[in-house]
Structure 1
Amino acid sequence: MRVNGPNEWADHREWLATRIAPVELAGFAELDRGRLTRSLAAISAALSDGHGAHIAAGVVRGELDHGGSPRADDLLRTHLAIALAARTTEIRDITPDGALAVTNRRQAAECRALATEILALSPDPQLIAFATDLHHRLDRAQRWRWVEPDVWTAAIVGLAVLVLPFVGSVVGSAAVTAGGVLVGGGLVFGFVMAHRKRQWAVDERSAAGTAFRRPGS
């Protein structure tokens, strides 16, 4: 599967369509033929439209709940994994260069839950590889990043850290000096925490300033 192409979601949708194994419905009992037909229709519609994967997943779950032959259930589990994989792309944003990106905490949590469920379904190896790669992407999205501070903010904090203890030493007050050191330390701590962001939060800030697009929009 190509990634980070001109439109990762479009590439991803085309790739998922290839994961739908051809099914010879005549080889199944009538009950299973109906289950598989409805499942295939829901998955195909979701991949064709570029949205509605959660609806397709609901349809497939319903067919699995109805029960049938083990062979049909195996196919339905793969269909469900495909729908869940499609859902992971629908809930992410698309950057201006076409890559999929997690830009908030909700997306990260939902994508991780979906990837975990795909792995639990034990579908084909390529879908397992997709879910594993998504877990790695989400791990990277959770990493801390240093965000370049505003020059004036950095200058003010730096000046305060230097001046406050100096004032205490000038007036000859140990209490003022100690207070200045504590205040300066607090300012530095707050400054560092304010400019230490998760990768997804950095991407979220980028999304606010650029034209991130939702899949299917």
Structure 2
Amino acid sequence: MSNFYVGIIDDEKQNINRIKRKGRQENFEFIEVPLLEDIEEMVQEVIMLNVKALLVDFKLSTTRPNIKYTGVDLLVKLEEYIENYPSFILTAFGDNAEQELIDVNKVYDKSQYFDDPTVLNRRIKRQAENFIQLVKKAELELIELKRVPSPTLKQQERIIELDSFIEKRISKKDALSLSIKTKFYQDKLDNLLAKTEKILEEVEKL
């Protein structure tokens, strides 16, 4: 049984089927992500499917000339939504992909992968598991801190930090800014201090 899913985006069905076969011995499962014409909708599809890593062909228009973006364009757009998301380019056009992509370590030769998938599958597995563990660890710490009845200022700062960290790895576009969250907790603290001062004033009058 697979521990998590890795999405495949390719316009050629035979490539998708070959990649699926290359992952049969792994503890993850490759699944096809439907290729959509609009890049924003494509990103939302990836997020909705909750795949833990992504393997994308560089040229997505070989059989789909209506697709105007490349695999690199998609990964750049995805990074706007999810920070440090495990993603890889699998292509026969390595030079072009490397020129467009800042992180050349994400680019892998398709023919080499089909000959021997060991190296890339190991990297996919490692990066996806690290990504999952980082988020899970942050979520557990956040849950424990939110159970504290009256968190200290330092604990409140840590809550904001963890909350922002998790949101950026789920969807940065939907995340509240750190300044807004900080103001929210500061307002709560100010209200608490004001109530305390009022109580002390009433006590002094007695």
State the TM-score, normalized to the length of structure 2: 0.27
Q: Which has the higher strand share?
A: 2
Q: Which has the higher helix share?
A: 1
